[in-house]
Amino acid sequence: MVRVIIFLLLAGNMSLVFAQDTVSFMHYNLLNYRNTTNQCTNSTNNPETKEDHLETIVSYVKPDILTINEMGANWLNPNKLLTNSLNKNGVSHYDQAEFANNSFSSLTNMLFFNSDKLEMYDQVALIKDVNNQEMVRVIDVYTLYVKNGALLTGDTTFLTVFVAHLKAGSTSTDKDKRQEMAKAAMEYLKDNHKSHSYFFAGDFNIRTHSEACYQTITKNSATTIRFYDPKDAPGSWNNSSTYSNLHTQSTHDGDSRGGCFSTGGMDDRFDFILCGKEVIDGTYGVQYVDGSYTALGQDSRRFNGNIKYPASNIIPASVQNALYEMSDHLPVLMNVSVKDNSVSVTKMLAKSKIVVSHLHDGTLKVHLPIGNTYTELRVIDMGGKIVRQKVNLTGNKWQVATAGLPNGLYLINAITSTGEVYTHKVGIQSN
């Protein structure tokens, strides 16, 4: 969970007061949510039932950042979890990132966030590896910033989250594909590293810390961009009771629901939230809260067993049942403390609050600040040339084709009817 220090401007004396809040971070593999396979069908893995179970889990944890793997990529409404699981029973503060995918996978990632405390700043989908080959699945890179109350007039705190679902399997080819995905993520981070706090969350599908992909992420040759395990627990996690407190898969040890759920029992640590060293040290005002990392419902009594029996003494029975029915993975949780206004980076003025999602599919998705009427949208190269332009705009969401543009940095300019210009810098990679 993240502690946020929010600036409040007090009427009368114009003084600033610091208040603390709490934000939680949860990562969860949802097991073929709204993705139909021969084994995971509407009867064995019903999406509406899963939405109810996720509502139970979310209402208990109350995450402010929720990242997920295994959201179905081939359906038309990517907002159903937002509506049916998160913004329920009087809750309305959740928002979500853009939907991204590549041609290789029927599953993708997503990030949801508490919009009362955080805002989306940027999103990039990594589709190709360092050899320019399309990866098995997209790696999403989301950047959020901490809201400065209503001011947004000073430096703010940025959190960048990599979300990956690495290739499953234990063959050498599977391991090679995991390694290529890890290399792509770390190469992107090396080329785009900023004074942010970084996280790497996902289902890694690994059995030991010595696997090449994990070493690439945690022992990278560029020491400033390495990720660290908050539990500091290297080892051969697979089928070892020594690491039973860390195991996240499988929640079932018998009933496979027609082959949809894995039934190996709790004996693998597949799911992670890793932190950059700056988070461990609190360099940029975001710091891991010691001892807060956990797998929800894991009480160390589940080795080679299931999450449902025996009865838990750490979570309610309703949550224990929801974890069993929802997925063959457990969600992982952790807390970080955040000191707002601690990072001296780009000024987040209100007029720069544009969200641009470049999904590497030849399209920029531009979300402009609401409450304005826009007359023109421009994409401008670093030489000052207007390379794309839209006029007579309606609404605040627009798509701009990027096919044919050289790779590089561009400015997005949105001009309001009153002449105000909103600007955002974005890197475009069209091929």
Tens-place pLDDT, residues 105-157: 889 999 999 998 888 888 888 988 999 899 999 999 999 888 754 333 345 78
Q: Is residue 152 one of the residues assigned to a domain? A: yes
Of 338, 360, 380, which residue sits at a domain end?
338
Q: What does DSSP say about strands 158-165 and 197-203: parallel, antiparallel, or unpaired?
A: parallel
Least confident of 189-203, 259-273, 409-423: 409-423
List the single range of 54-68, 229-243, 291-305, 339-353 with lowest mean pLDDT.
339-353
Boundary-marking domain end, from 338, 370, 401: 338
Alpha helices in 241-299 (DSSP H): 277-281
Question: With 70 as the cut, is the pLDDT of residue 20 above it?
Answer: no
Are 328 and 376 contained in the same domain? no
CA distance 121 to 144: 5
Statement: residue 1 has pLDDT above 50:
no
CATH number at residue 413: 2.60.40.10
Q: Do the beta carbons of residue 399 and residue 365 sit within 8 Å?
A: yes
- Residues 162-181: tens digit of each pLDDT: 999 999 999 999 999 999 99
The average pLDDT across 184-209 equals 95
Asked if residue 344 is part of any domain, the answer here is no
Residue the block writes with tokens 């009933």: 255
DSSP state of 82: I
Which residues, 6+ apart, have CB-to-CB distance to 395 below 8 Å?
none
CA distances from 83 to 36, 56, 57, 86 (A): 21, 14, 15, 6
414 pairs with which residues across the strands?
A: 377, 422
pLDDT at residue 361, rounded to an integer? 61
**pTM of this structure:** 0.79
Output the pLDDT for position 175.
97
pLDDT of residue 280 exceeding 80: yes
pLDDT band at residue 2 under the 50/70/90 scheme: very low
How high is the pLDDT of residue 161?
A: 97
What confidence tens digit (pLDDT) does each residue in 27-56 have?
999 999 999 999 999 999 999 999 999 999
- Our CA angle for 178, 181, 183, nearest 5°, is 110
What is the CB neighbour count within 10 angstroms for residue 286? Answer: 28
Cα dihedral 397, 400, 406, 407 sign = positive
Do residues 368 and 327 both lie within one domain? no
Q: Is the pLDDT of residue 346 over 80?
A: no
Q: Please give the pLDDT value at position 148.
A: 58
Residue 382 CB partners (closer than 8 Å, separation 6+): 408, 409, 410, 411
- Locate 423 and state its tokens: 């600007």
Note whether 280 and 370 are same-domain residues.
Answer: no
Point out which residues pair with 160 in neighbouring strands: 143, 198
The stretch 242-262 carries a mean pLDDT of 96
Q: Note whether 283 and 395 are same-domain residues.
A: no
On whether residue 419 sits in a domain, the answer given is: yes
The CATH number for 280's domain is 3.60.10.10
Question: Cβ distance 109 to 67 under 8 Å?
Answer: yes
Q: Given a cut of 70, is residue 402 above it in pLDDT?
A: yes
Query: Same structural domain for residues 399 and 299?
Result: no
Residue 151 belongs to a domain: yes
Residues 302 and 363 in one domain: no
Q: In this predicted structure, what is the pLDDT of residue 135?
A: 94
> Nearest-CA neighbor of 83 among 92, 75, 70?
92
Number of domains in the chain: 2
Mean pLDDT check: name the lowest of 58-72, 247-261, 384-398: 384-398
Are 292 and 319 found together in one domain?
Answer: yes
Structure tokens at 117: 């405390």
Do residues 258 and 300 share a domain? Answer: yes
3-state class (DSSP) for residue 420? coil
Mean pLDDT of 318-346: 81
Q: Could you tell me if 153 and 226 lie in one domain?
A: yes
One-letter amino acid at 308 equals K
Considering the domain architecture, whether residues 301 and 363 belong to the same structural domain is answered as: no
- Amino acid (1-letter code) at residue 337: S
User: Do strands 2-9 and 332-338 pair parallel, antiparallel, or not at all (unpaired)?
Assistant: parallel
CA distances in angstroms from 234 to 101, 212, 238, 402, listed in the order given: 32, 13, 12, 43
Compute CA distances 160 → 37, 51, 412, whole Å: 33, 27, 21
pLDDT band at 410 (very low <50, low <70, confident <90, very high): confident
Pairing of strands 94-96, 363-367: unpaired
Instruction: Note down the domain range covering 104.
Output: 2-338
Are both 38 and 172 inside the same structural domain?
yes
The mean pLDDT value of the chain amounts to 84
Domain membership flag for residue 198: yes
Q: Is residue 163 part of a domain?
A: yes
* The last residue of a domain, from among 280, 312, 338: 338
Q: Are residues 422 and 303 in the same domain?
A: no
Q: With 70 as the cut, is the pLDDT of residue 348 above it?
A: no
Residue 314 lies in a domain: yes
Residue 345 domain-assigned?
Answer: no
Q: Average of pLDDT values for 159-163?
A: 96
